[in-house]
Amino acid sequence: MRNYKISIISIVLLLLCKSVVASVSFNLELVSKVEGLTEYNSSSNFGVSDVWGYTDETGIEYAIVGYRNGTHIYDVSSIPDNPLLIADIAGPSNGDYYFHRDYKTYDDHLYIVNEMTGMDAGMQVIDLSPLPASVPIKRNTYTGVTQSHNLWIDNDSGYGFIEKNYPENVHIVDLTNPGAPVHSASLSYWDAENCHDIYTVNNRAYISEGWSNQFGIYDISDILYPIQLATIPAFGYAHNAWLNEAGTHLITGEETVGMTVKIWDIQDLDNINLVGEYLGENSLAHNVHVKGDFVYISHYTTGLKILDIYDPSDPIEVAAYDTYPDDDNDGFYGCWGAYPFTANNYVYASDMQYGLFVFSFDDVEAGWVYGTITDGGQSVAGVEIKSLLNGKIFTSNLNGEYEFGFPEGDHEFEFWDNGIYIETQTITIYPHQTTGHNIIFGGELVGDVNNDGVLNILDIIALVNLILNDQYDWIGDINSDEILNILDIIAMINIILDN
């Protein structure tokens, strides 16, 4: 058994007292919304469940989403603002308050598991290969497992991993013939005990082990004899985990109020470290999925969240859409699932009360900015920097310094000091770069060529460089003759000596 170590997450402090604000929507374009799914909801207004996707051989994209009585498949490409229902697959629908269904696709087949009882219980198998010319074909339902909460398929090995109950915690099927799964192995007893979710890649399984309060990492190169390599603690319910594409960090979720989405450095399984954390406004995240440097989180009542984890120690929220406008409370309502693995930058989100959402996301990346806030040459502590994009607030420290990550682009920020509005300024954030940006209140200081709020020898050097490169900046034009030359250098020296 290998050990883990939790490091101190000092990077969080760089946000300098960031405050909590209401959930807002930004950097996600709503392409379409399918509300008809919720017409079938129960009297408690549940029915819509998870969402997945599929791309046919012609490039048409499909959204696959659960509803109370089964599964709907929508063509979201032909008429993007009005998805076309092309299949309605009935399934079990009794005995589950939330109507859990889960989906994965493999080799032009769709696999459906659910927790309900009733008609056609088991893992439903749907042949999608007739699309788009004809409708999907339902194959025989696999009954080796009749009820399951979650399903995973390893596209490289062709194995399907079906969550089950102790002592057979994970039921593994061979999909060599994708239309007729065959039971081939199991994870049983103490391996993956209390399994809730499975993710596999490169002959390793990352299993979220529920109330065992841990995420287990297993070597499954021999599917008949899995070996546990390491465990990672869950401080709530070990709910869901996904590896970043580099294979260096595991992102975990605990579906427990107050428990963060965590980023673990797993490059050395003898020395696993917690390096980054995130939690939205409602303090309750559901599932995480990773594509590129982006983590897509179905975040219940705050909707869909997208993080940039280019720097795993400092995950930055770069896009969001509040699919559940009722509130941002910490209940099990709102956004259930998210699917980002499309070929056209579409992202699907399922909301239990509001249906299916189709978004366009332009891969907006994060950048970082730092600087000092001064007024009359003196640093100013406790200044609140409020974004007009998403309402987030950052605060300067005792030395007047600030530092934060934010989506790329030119953004306006309001500056407040002790509750008094000072001014609004634009700060430019560059993708995956860290840049300096000092803030000067009361107008810019003439001669402060390097924009650090004070006049000194560094400004003389900067002014000389402007002159040598035949560049003009009015802030260095001390004598206001619209020319930068030796006279401005002399004037600046006199100002510095007088002060």
Segment among 68-77, 299-308, 374-383 with least mean pLDDT: 374-383
Do strands 366-375 and 434-436 pair parallel, antiparallel, or not at all (unpaired)? parallel
Average pLDDT estimate for 128-142: 98
CA distance 190 to 269: 20
**Number of Cβ within a 10 Å radius of residue 203:** 14
Q: What are phi and psi of 219, to 5 degrees?
A: -85, 120
Question: Do 446 and 463 meet the contact criterion of CB atoms below 8 Å apart?
Answer: no
- pLDDT tens for each residue of 418-469: 999 999 999 999 999 999 888 888 766 667 788 776 788 998 998 899 899 8
Is 497 or 140 the better-scoring residue by pLDDT? Answer: 140
What lies within 8 Å, CB to CB, of 344 at 6+ separation is: 61, 77
CA distance 118 to 94: 6
Do strands 273-278 and 261-265 pair parallel, antiparallel, or not at all (unpaired)? antiparallel
CA distance 365 to 363: 6
CA distance 120 to 444: 72
Q: What is the pTM for the complete model shown? A: 0.87
Question: Do 346 and 388 meet the contact criterion of CB atoms below 8 Å apart?
Answer: no
CA distance 493 to 348: 61
Average pLDDT estimate for 257-261: 98
Choose among 354, 482, 483, 446: nearest CA to 48: 354
Choose among 8, 27, 10, 2: nearest CA to 406: 27
Question: Do 233 and 243 meet the contact criterion of CB atoms below 8 Å apart?
Answer: no
Number of H helices, E strands in the chain: 2, 37
CA distance 404 to 85: 44
Q: Mapped to the 3 state alphabet, what secondary structure does 222-269 carry?
A: CCCCCEEEEEEECCCCECEEEECCCCCEEEEECCCCCCCEEEEECCCC
Q: Which amino acid is at 370?
A: Y
Average pLDDT estimate for 295-314: 98
Tell me what pLDDT residue 15 has: 36
- Six token digits for residue 267: 């490059």
Distance of CA 436 to the CA centre of its chain: 26
Do strands 434-436 and 240-243 pair parallel, antiparallel, or not at all (unpaired)? unpaired
Write the CA distances from 311 to 187, 267, 277, 428, integer angstroms.
34, 15, 12, 19
Average pLDDT estimate for 293-298: 98
- pLDDT tens for each residue of 206-222: 999 999 999 999 999 99
Strand order in the sheet with 159-163: 151-154, 159-163, 168-174, 182-188
Write the CA distances from 19 to 259, 281, 282, 358, 415, integer angstroms.
17, 10, 13, 30, 14
Helix (H/G/I), strand (E/B), else coil: 271: coil
pLDDT bin (cut points 50, 70, 90) of residue 491 is confident
Tell me what pLDDT residue 446 has: 66
Angle between helices 457-468 and 486-498 (to 10 degrees): 170
Average pLDDT estimate for 236-259: 98
Write the CA distances from 440 to 115, 446, 479, integer angstroms.
59, 11, 21
Q: What share of the chain is helix, strand, coil (3-state, %, to 5)?
A: 10, 45, 50
- pLDDT tens for each residue of 340-349: 999 999 999 9
What lies within 8 Å, CB to CB, of 399 at 6+ separation is: 372, 379, 381
Degrees to nearest 5, angle at CA 209 with 204 and 213: 125
Q: What are phi and psi of 10, to 5 degrees?
A: -70, -25
- Six token digits for residue 14: 């760089």
Q: What is the DSSP letter of 479?
A: T
Average pLDDT estimate for 364-372: 96
Do strands 439-441 and 366-375 pair parallel, antiparallel, or not at all (unpaired)? parallel
Tell me what pLDDT residue 413 has: 97
Q: How far apart are the first and last CA of the chain?
A: 66
**Number of Cβ within a 10 Å radius of residue 264:** 22
**Number of Cβ within a 10 Å radius of residue 83:** 25
Please report, rounded to a whole number, the percentage of residues in the chain having pLDDT higher than 90: 83
Degrees to nearest 5, angle at CA 392 with 386 and 397: 65
